[in-house]
Amino acid sequence: MIRLEAVCRTYRLGDQPVKALDRVDLDIDAGAYVSVMGPSGSGKSTLLNVIGLLDTPDSGRYQLEGREMTCLDEEARAAERNRRIGFVFQAYHLIDRLSARENIELPLVLAGMAPSERRPLVDDIVDRLGLTERAGHLPRQLSGGQRQRVAIARAVIRKPALLLADEPTGNLDSHSGAEVIELLEELNDQGITLLVVTHDPNIGRRAGRRLRMEDGRITADRSGTETGDALR
């Protein structure tokens, strides 16, 4: 599903080039549950952004569902993001003047879907994620956990093949964090490919495949059920 070959992404901080991704090779199967851990500044977010087509690599190749992504222009990338990829961010990134329901609806609106087609889709997801009572509320009237649920609903409303979550529990207490992770796992069970960046080893170890990053490289890649100690 995802194939990275020798992908590099270098940022420039003043005169200093920073290799956020340093010749990364990675293959991820459809439906996989992958966690990415590592010290901060090791390139986890950059990896997710490149996979999510928010960022473009300087060199290397990236194929998504067998299609070459490196040659797409910004317009085409935007269309791919809308159709195939859902994002969940640490800071939720909800639009504060729109209600929960309207935030969830946004990807459909951007895709140009008619209101009559949008309504049942939104109703369905709001119901599934237990947000029915909160649908009319503004983001500031919701708890952190509820906001992240809204963000997740928005991420999956287009039924993407790939769900990318960058520290989705970073701003949450452990209880709501656990709920959010369970929700993401539930979606993964239903077939979505899930990539979670996290600092929390307890969360990281739940994934079927665990990556570790350091200095822009993947330094460990483990599969199967083993204890998280290996990641330390």
Partner 1 sequence: MRFADLLQFNGRLLLRQRFRTAMSLLAMAVGVAAVLLLTGLGEGARQFVLNEFSLLGSDVLIMLPGRKETTGGMPPITGEGTRDITLEDVEALGRLNGVRRVAPLIVGNAQTHVGGRSRELLTVGTSEVFFAIRKLKTLQGRPLPVMPLKRAEPVCILGTDARRELFGARPALGEWLRIGDRRFRVIGILDDRGESLGMEMSEAILIPVAAAQQIFDVQGMFRVFLQVRPGSPMEDVRGEILALMQQRHGGERDVTLITQDALLGAFDDILRLLTLGVGAIAAISLLVAGILIMNITLISVSQRTREIGLLKALGASAATVRLLFVCEALQLALLGCLIGIASGYGLLALGHWLWPLLPFVVSLWALGAALLIAIATALLFAWLPASRAARLPPVLALQGMQGGAR
Residues that bind partner 1 (CB under 8 A): 49, 52, 54-55, 74-75, 78-79, 81-83, 87, 89, 93, 95, 97-98, 106-107, 109-112, 114-115, 154, 158
Amino acid letter, residue 180: V
| E strands in 179-224 | 193-197, 209-214, 217-223
Does 149 sit near ligand ADP (CB under 6 A)?
Answer: no
Matching residue, tokens 């796992």? 185
Residues paired with residue 218 on neighbouring β-strands, in sequence order? 213
What count of residues does the chain have?
A: 232
Q: How far is the CB of 40 from ligand ADP (least distance, A)?
A: 4
Q: How far is the CB of 215 from partner 1 (least distance, A)?
A: 19
Main-chain phi, psi angles of 192, to 5 degrees: -75, 140
Site mask for Mg ion (CB under 5 A), range 42-61, x = bound: ---x----------------
Name which of Mg ion, partner 1, ligand ADP, none residue 11 binds, using a CB cut-off of 5 to 8 Å depending on partner kind: ligand ADP
Of the pair 24, 32, the CB lying nearest ligand ADP is at 24
Q: How far apart are CA 41 and CA 22, in angstroms?
A: 13
Of the pair 42, 176, the CB lying nearest ligand ADP is at 42
By three-state DSSP, how is residue 220 classified? Answer: strand
Cβ neighbours of residue 91 closer than 8 Å, sequence gap 6 or more: 171
Q: How far is the CB of 119 from ligand ADP (least distance, A)?
A: 37
Contact window for Mg ion (CB under 5 A) among 24-32, 40-48, 99-107, 134-142: 40-48
